[in-house]
Chain A
Amino acid sequence: MTRRQRLDLIRALGFLAPNLAGFLLFTSLPVFFSLALSFFQWDTFSAPRFVGFDNFARLLGDPKLWFYLYNTLFLMMGLPLTIAGSLFLAVVLSQKLRGIVLYRTIFYLPTVTNGVALFLLWKWLYNPKYGLINSLLLPVLTWPQLSLVVRLTLLAGLAGWAWHHGRQALAHWQEQGQRGLVLHASALGVLLLVGLGWITAGISTYGGLVSWLVGRFSLLAGLNTIDDLPNWLSSSVDLGVLSWLGAESAAYWAKTAIVIMGVWASVGGGNMILYLAALANVPEELYEASDIDGASRWQQFCHVTWPMIAPTTFFILVMGVIAGLQGGFEIAYLMTNGGPGKDGDNTVTLGYYIYKAAFENLEFGYAAAVSWFMFVIVFGLTLFNWRFGKGAVHS
């Protein structure tokens, strides 16, 4: 190494030093410390005690851990909705509209607003007896004709679908002969029968088993006063899967409520900005070429836009999965305090569990073990995304 090179190296290191020191001190060191800590029992007040694999053994037998993992995954259900919403917004906001900057700012606003303020705002919106959401839902859901309107809409949709499908079936018949027609007709017949039965059962005062089934499977049955609407963040009726299908208004809404809020808060955020940038980078020639080929707007979106922005979608997906697995702490801490539920932990996520173990129960060793468990899951899922997601991205 010449003197010149050595000087360059020293200079480079000098400029890197602040960042490097910060990284070593506040990231690397804690990471290794937490790995070591996961083999100890430590309450920060007495000396750490080596317990070998005890923390990990306890972790694998901890039924709560798996429940919190489920909670975490449940809250991540918002991710596809967020991606779809962000893309939709980005497509709309990339049009040449008057005052587009204002719209973009408005949709980005939740992202720059303090999270705590948003959580408290939504807590009031979700208030079961005085909140805005239930107040608005009440007149809609208790409107006596609502059920009829919903069913008629569905009936119209079904009829349209049957018309479309029937025409296709006819075309198939002309091509393939009788076998195709029988297959199509029977599928169509079963679907129509079930659909019509469900829809008309609510309209007529048809008694017996059918109407009982309809009652069980209708979320709108038996709504009368504000007491029948969901309690949102404090809903805690544990009836299992049935509560989703039945009309139990108080069932399981807490996690769903958080998902709805999360989607609202992040649809217009960084993802939208990323998509806007990606859309701007799609070459104009491709659209022109597809125009010449006679592609519709929808076909253009499916065959030009979507493949061209796939790398961005992939990036958003990977980052979203990582953030989702680590997240949920602030929301649960501020909005539900981990509750509701029989054990008051229906919204506790893995991140929250680590906080609880460390700072509420003062079990830092166990908390470290849980965080390494979480790391393994995040790492595994990211590898999975990388391995199988890459194939879907056209490069």
Chain B
Amino acid sequence: MRDLFLALVVLALLLAGWFALNRWILQVYPADPSEGGRYTVIRWASDPNPARNEQIALFNRLYEDRRVRVVLDPSAEVQKILTQAAAGGGPDVFDIYSYSSFALYVSKGVLLPIDDYMGQANLSVDDFWPQRRNALAIQGEGPGQHRTYCVPNNVTTSVTFFNRSLYDVVARERRTLGMEMPSLPWNHWTWWDYVRLCQALTRKNLEGRRYETFGSGGAGFGGGLSDFIYQAGGSLLSADGAQVLLDSPAGQEACQYLYDLANTFHVAPAAEDQSAQTGGGGWGGQSILGLFTAGKLGSIFIGRWGLIKVRREARFTVEIYPLPRYVPYSEWERWMRDPQISGDPSRRDGSWGELSAETRNRGKAAELGGRVTGININTRHPEEAFYFLEYLSSPDYNNLLTKDADAFGSRREFSLAYFSRPDPAFPEEDQHRPALLEAMEHTRPERAAAYGAAFEIARLQNTLTTNLVNAAYQPADPGRTFTYQFLGPLPGQPLQTNPTLGQAAAGEMAERMRRELEAGRRRQALSSRDHHLDIFFIALLLGGLVLGARWLASRQGDAS
């Protein structure tokens, strides 16, 4: 007995010594942000973007007199937050990165309704960007069913980041070779212009076997495929998320375009490089944005937040333009045949033309993205947590965020105010403003699949993009081809593609998405079978297992 007691005492002493070593000598525990309970500490789950430090510091300064402090929890992964919330814990406030996640959180009851707090703070859903409202509140059926859950943290949409220095180098090279250089992007440029420009910016090494630069980053961040479908006048899903509309003509054209960028025109890198998932190495690490800031790409489609990394790392001049707008493939042929149209952008008239004020905005669209922030239903400090949401809606935060280039602030008027006057800190960015504002005007709200299938559908959408870039689809009609006479690498050298490829890809993937949607619907419908008999069989099974194990054990006993 004495030995045991002694052992326990030694163990306790060791543990106490270890704690003391850490606490007072090595001081490995971080300082207590509550300062012994003087402050209420709110944990904010977001991402480790370096801008978060300043954003938190400003909050802590502004709410010093209310004795509230925010600390960062540097990951807001959906699985993590759901698991923590199911166990009754989790961060006090957390960022939500897509409408799908928002819908999932609401359906699981993880978000705290904030209507009362909003009323007290004189805030309303209508104060924010109108396109963003879908991911803030749920519109119930009856009176009093409307619930607000979130405020936007930032809003973003894809624009074109353009490597102007590369353009200048290539233009000089081509001039010495006596070759024509496609014109710079402009506010109303089209898919067709984009391809021509990217072809010039895609360069191979001297043997022509390796790529030095690619003109386009391909689908890249943001919607990618969704943007293209919206531009072509369709959408991936119906507004309620219950229907897959991918195999509409618009979806087929968008698929074809994505395919052609990588495989017909060879202006975009491999799917692996185009993926936003290329991540790793911290916030904004190795990704398509990394390839761009390394000068390997002529252009990428990305939100304004890409500027955070560009400001720090890009050693070349970056210009920003809206996404190229859609023009039907059928129109390409006409443009290519008519040198007046193909040579001079200002002369492109006709149904998809440039000159008339009514038609110049046709084919412009992009999906709205960004983060919204909500309060965990499990928080012990709902009131203090709402201070943080109030702060996110304040002009102070909006200005800080917009200045840091973390996309746009949550409220339109504050963003417009920032963009209406030049920022002396970043004079080179003044010229971006019209394009960015223009892009925001053409955004559409995100859509998410119904029946809890949102993540699977989003994953299938990424898969579709990967497979298009990797040429994983067979054309529906192997006999048909389409020749791009003037888009060949050299004038007069034709490029061929099969337009039924987009049709086949869209059809195939739409079918898979429908199956997934149906599976989700079936899972949600509870099984109506009577399960009482199963209990009997389970008991039988367990009894059999126990008896079998005993029999085995007895046999072993006999054998030995």
Contact = CB atoms under 8 A, between A and B. Distances in A.
A236 B270 contact: no
Contacts of B529: 52, 54
Contacts of B523: 363
Given A11-B1, A45-B108, A250-B471, A225 B209 contact: yes
A340 B209 contact: no
A227 B460 contact: no
Contact of B270 (A15, A53, A129, A361): A129
Contact of A49 (B86, B526, B538): B526
B4 interface: yes
Interface residues of A, number: 54
Interface in B85-118: 85-86, 108-110
B104 to A, nearest CB: 9
Contacts of A340: 271, 463, 466-467, 470
Interface string B510-531: 0010000000000100110101
B270 A234 contact: yes
A138 B209 contact: yes
Given A226-B211, A343-B512, A39 B538 contact: yes
B83 A359 contact: yes
A362 B460 contact: no
B86 A45 contact: yes
A128 B471 contact: no
Interface in A222-263: 224-227, 231-238, 250
A327 B278 CA distance: 22
B269 A360 contact: no
Contacts of A237: 470-472
Name which of B79, B270, B455, B534 has the most chain A CB atoms within 10 A of its CB. Answer: B270
Contacts of A387: none
A344 B463 CA distance: 5
Contacts of B210: 129, 135, 138, 225-226
B531 A344 contact: no
Contacts of B50: none
Contact of B467 (A11, A127, A342): A342
A50 B535 CA distance: 9
B278 to A, nearest CB: 8
A151 interface: no
Contacts of A344: 459-460, 462-463, 466
B467 A10 contact: no
B4 A10 contact: yes
The secondary structure that dominates the A interface is loop
B470 A238 contact: no
Interface in A190-248: 224-227, 231-238
Given A11-B1, A11-B4, A231-B271, A52 B467 contact: no
A354 B208 CA distance: 46
Nearest to A223: B209
Interface string A143-179: 0000000000000000000000000000000000000
Contacts of B220: none
B208 A236 contact: no
B102 to A, nearest CB: 16
A51 B533 CA distance: 11
A116 to B, nearest CB: 8
A326 interface: no
A342 B534 contact: no
Nearest to A139: B209
Contacts of A43: 108
A129 B211 contact: yes
B472 A238 contact: yes
Contacts of B466: 234, 236, 339-340, 344
A129 B462 contact: no
Contacts of B109: 45
A337 interface: yes
B1 A10 contact: yes
Nearest to A53: B534
Name which of A50, A224, A363 has the most chain B CB atoms within 10 A of its CB. Answer: A50
Contact of A360 (B79, B86, B538): B79
A11 B109 CA distance: 49
A227 B272 CA distance: 13
B430 interface: no
A128 B272 contact: yes
Contacts of B125: none
A14 interface: yes
B7 interface: yes
Interface string B54-95: 000000000000000000000000010011011000000000
A54 B278 CA distance: 38
A364 to B, nearest CB: 9
B18 interface: no
A236 B3 contact: no
A319 B499 CA distance: 52
B537 interface: yes
A19 B211 CA distance: 58
Nearest to A127: B272
A41 B466 CA distance: 34
Interface string A35-59: 0000101011100011111100000
B354 interface: no
Interface string B206-234: 00111100000000000000000000000
B198 to A, nearest CB: 15
A225 B455 CA distance: 37
A7 interface: yes
B453 to A, nearest CB: 9
Contacts of A44: 82-83, 86
19 contacts: A15-B4, A44-B86, A45-B109, A49-B526, A52-B533, A120-B286, A123-B280, A130-B273, A130-B296, A226-B210, A231-B272, A234-B466, A237-B471, A250-B472, A338-B459, A339-B463, A342-B472, A342-B512, A362-B82
Q: Which 7 residue pairs across A and B have the least CB separation, nearest first?
A: A52-B534, A344-B463, A44-B86, A52-B531, A128-B270, A234-B272, A359-B79
Given A129-B273, A359-B79, 6 more contacts: A41-B526, A45-B85, A130-B273, A225-B208, A236-B467, A237-B472
Interface of B: 1, 3-4, 7-8, 79, 82-83, 85-86, 108-110, 204, 208-211, 266, 269-273, 275, 277-278, 280-281, 286, 296, 452, 455-456, 459-460, 462-463, 466-467, 470-472, 508, 512, 523, 526-527, 529, 531, 533-535, 537-538
